[in-house]
Structure 1
Amino acid sequence: MTTDRTRPLHAPRGATAEGPGLFITLEGGDGAGKTTQATLLEEWLRRQGREVVRTREPGGTEVGVRIRDIVLHHRGHIAARAEALLYAADRAHHIETVVQPAIARGAVVIQDRYLDSSVAYQGAGRVLDADDVRALSLWATDGLLPDLTVLLDLDPAAARARLDADDKPFDRLEAEKGEFHARVRAGFLDLARAEPERFLVLDATHQPAALADRVREAVVARLG
């Protein structure tokens, strides 16, 4: 199972008086600052008069909330392939019922994690075949790729320090060892190198305001 890594597969987007819809995803390890950047971007876009749909994977639908509880909080072992399939099931339902309708009516979708997380976490992290994991998600979503993917790159040790400072219980993936998170980071960077036209890679150690400026510049360029 192999798939062209560079060709956008989605169909032409819908449009409104505000302009065409846009699909933006934020990727990176836990603790990299995705939530902060998604919030800043959402606030800025709303000030421009855009409709914004803010969502996440897993857990962007009622079905997804149940899957999220399994993949992130189940206390027992989950086989790596089963984990990948659970994420794909969540993604299939989420894209069809939330993301595609929003894009079709001209909204800007800001999403925390998408198929690149599966390739990085289940592919590189769990050491499954990355092409198989990617192909599974592309089949589940009818080939939908984001217009822009913001990768917040952060050393796993720095990310762990941020998570420790939050003083919250770790989920199943956050609790994995450093070697796992190093493979995940390398997996994300490999994806970004393969699709430089889609990815904006940012050093997550920079100040949030400076990062937000870079994200806005990239979004403006794509709204055109």
Structure 2
Amino acid sequence: MLDQRQHSMLDAMGIQLWSRRQQHQPGDIVDVTQPDEAEEQLHDWESLQQAVETCHRCGLAATRTQTVFGAGNQHAELMIIGEAPGADEDRQGEPFVGRAGQLLNQMLLACGFSREQVYIANILKCRPQGNCNPSPEEMISCRHYLNRQIELVAPKLLLAVGGVAATSLLDSDKPVGQLRGELYHYGGQKVPMIVTYHPAYLLRQPSEKRKSWEDLQFAMRKLGDLS
């Protein structure tokens, strides 16, 4: 169900909430207040993944090749949250598998983690058309899936990579450069969270890798403090 802040956000955008579910096309506004009964009972990984795979809560379901649920250690201490699947992820059904994913793997290895030791997920479970930034309604439609993943993993630390993930999770309009270097807490469980640049951005701006490395070192120190 939407909370008061999310209702206010939709009202401000002039988005009408419908009470009847149907198949949707890209750009359609959908009812995010009436989840199916199966979606209300996402008690375990199996039921959650099935709900994601059959989801039609927004228009992206009409254009996806497949959903991109998440990957990695379901009991990880570190959970990484990105923006949305790209073309490679849409084809393979796994997050961060393109060039940005290769760089992410290298970044993790530099911190002493393999990809299999962390859990990786995205704000959205379907690829936006043309790799556009997710719309507010798309992120709201998908948020309960991500929240449930966080609850099931129960990580000690979240690492939000990129501006879309960071601003969405923090409900902020500040750029990553102003959000990095601080420890935040996400959701009702107050899960510690740190913000850094998206690997795709680092591929375009290699000079910023030093800052990202500083963020990872900060994350490792905090993870050590939380252990």
TM-score scaled by structure 2? 0.36
Structure number having the greater helix percentage: 1
Name which structure has the greater RCO, CA cutoff 8 Å, separation 6+: 1
